[in-house]
Chain A
Amino acid sequence: MHEMGIAMQVMNIALESVPSEMAGVKIERVNLKVGKLAAVVPSSLRFCFEIIAKETVLAGAELSIQEVPVTAKCEGCGLQWRLDAPVFTCPSCESGSVKMLSGRELEITSIEIEDEE
């Protein structure tokens, strides 16, 4: 759906993250965290990234995607648990007052650049 737009943002952020004194250095890997509930399909994101990265210092760079599971915390009893289905009711006290802790991430954690010889 909007993976092309996302891939462009990923590319922009990666390019901006290279310190100016290292300008032009080849980026080998971009590390991303993507929540299970983020609206991104990893395979299409990789595909779009590959296309737009051509002709830049990101050409051939690997998009390494770490999937983040969905976890939540009950505001009633404080229980924290990992969700395997989209059921946001506390399994312990049945409260519906529940906060999502993780699962919607869409962030770049780091870039890896080629080591100089």
Chain B
Amino acid sequence: MEIKVVRNVLDVNKTLAGRNRDRFSQEKVFVLNLMSSPGSGKTTLLEKTLVQLAPDLKCAVIVGDVCTSNDADRLAVSGAPVVQVNTDQFGGDCHLAAHVIAAAADDIDLEDIDLLIVENIGNLVCPAEFDIGEDARAVVLSVTEGEDKPAKYPVMFRVCDAAILNKTDLLPYLDYDVGAAVGYMGQVHPEMPVFQLSAKTGEGIDPWIGWLKEQVTRKRSRG
């Protein structure tokens, strides 16, 4: 006998993500989910981003790290509250799930902040599948990775609202085809803005900061 079910396998995560989203909206907090492969420069970009945003926005960070607290220590230098989470066994250590974010958010005074940035686990596959209740998603790709990564990991580039092509300071030393990388991103997600910058030197970072501020403002004005 066949019994109809029709349920999404990840519906528990989806429900919890929806609860996070309601809670963040109530507290008027904008949430950014920042993702990439390991080493693309998420933490470095955040170090710079937090400093640039400090005069205008109150930020906090949740950082997912598999076993160290190095990233949390680097980010805490900015003065923003940083919560470090280590992933649990069943969530796997490949992504942050909604329940992990819910617990981490308990350690943040949400009423006091405007923008919560989540540095996800370094992985281009799994985090794309797990909603955490964010308002926007961004992916970092660096010029030391293959130009065709967007085509190899299309879901990640498809679900993101913006992409950062990082480490442009290294371009003079590399045989990297920026046009090809941007081209692949354009195929996978034609309407996604791509910010070319160096998180290390800060060159090209302004359009990214501008985009982020605009997103936060837009959510606020929606109420």
B67 located at the interface, meaning its Cβ lies under 8 Å from any Cβ of chain A in the complex: no
User: Is B155 touching A19 in the complex (CB atoms < 8 A)?
Assistant: no
Q: How far does the alpha carbon of A107 sit from the alpha carbon of B5 in the complex, in Å?
A: 9
* A residues less than 8 Å from B158 (CB atoms): 37, 86, 88, 100
User: Nearest residue in A to B13 (C-beta to C-beta)?
Assistant: A9
* C-alpha gap A104/B10 in the complex (Å): 12
| B4 interfacial by beta-carbon distance below 8 Å | yes
Query: Who on chain B is nearest to A104 by CB?
Result: B155
Q: How many residue pairs at the A-B interface have CB separations less than 8 Å?
A: 98
Q: Is B9 on the interface with A (CB-CB < 8 A)?
A: yes
On chain B, the number of residues with a Cβ less than 8 Å from chain A's Cβ atoms is 33
Per-residue interface assignment for chain A, residues 33 to 57, with 1 indicating a CB less than 8 Å from any chain B CB and 0 otherwise: 0000111000000000000000000
Q: Which residues, 1 to 40 on B, are CB-close (under 8 Å) to A?
A: 1-12
Give the complex CA separation of A98 and B125 in angstroms: 22
**CB-CB under 8 A for A107 and B9, given A5-B91, A39-B129:** yes
Chain B, 81-111, contact with A by CB distance < 8 Å: what is the 0/1 string? 0000000001110110000000000000000
Measured in the bound complex, the distance between the Cα atoms of B191 and A95 in whole Å is 10
Do A86 and B151 have beta carbons less than 8 Å apart?
A: yes
- The answer on a CB contact under 8 Å between B190 and A96 is yes
Kindly state whether residue B154 has any CB partner on chain A within 8 Å.
yes
B76 in contact (CB, < 8 A):
no
Chain B residue at minimal CB-CB distance from A90:
B190
Q: How far is the CB of A66 from chain B (nearest CB, A)?
A: 13
Q: Which of A1-53 contact B (CB under 8 A)?
A: 1-2, 4-6, 8-10, 13-14, 17-19, 32, 37-39
A residues 61-89 touching B (CB-CB < 8 Å): 85-89
Judge if A59 is at the interface, Cβ distance under 8 Å.
no
Q: Is the CB of B7 within 8 A of A107?
A: yes
The residue of chain A having its C-beta at the shortest distance from the C-beta of B12 within the complex is A9
The one of A8, A17, A88 that contacts B3, using a Cβ cutoff of 8 Å: A17
Task: Find out whether the CB atom of B7 lies under 8 angstroms from the CB atom of A39.
Answer: no
B1, B2, B123, B188: the one contacting A87 at CB < 8 Å is B188
CB distance from B54 to the nearest CB of A (A): 35
Which 6 A-B pairs have CB atoms at the shortest separation, nearest pair first? A96-B190, A86-B154, A2-B92, A87-B187, A39-B129, A1-B94
Binding site for B on A (CB under 8 A): 1-2, 4-6, 8-10, 13-14, 17-19, 32, 37-39, 85-89, 95-98, 100, 104, 106-113, 115
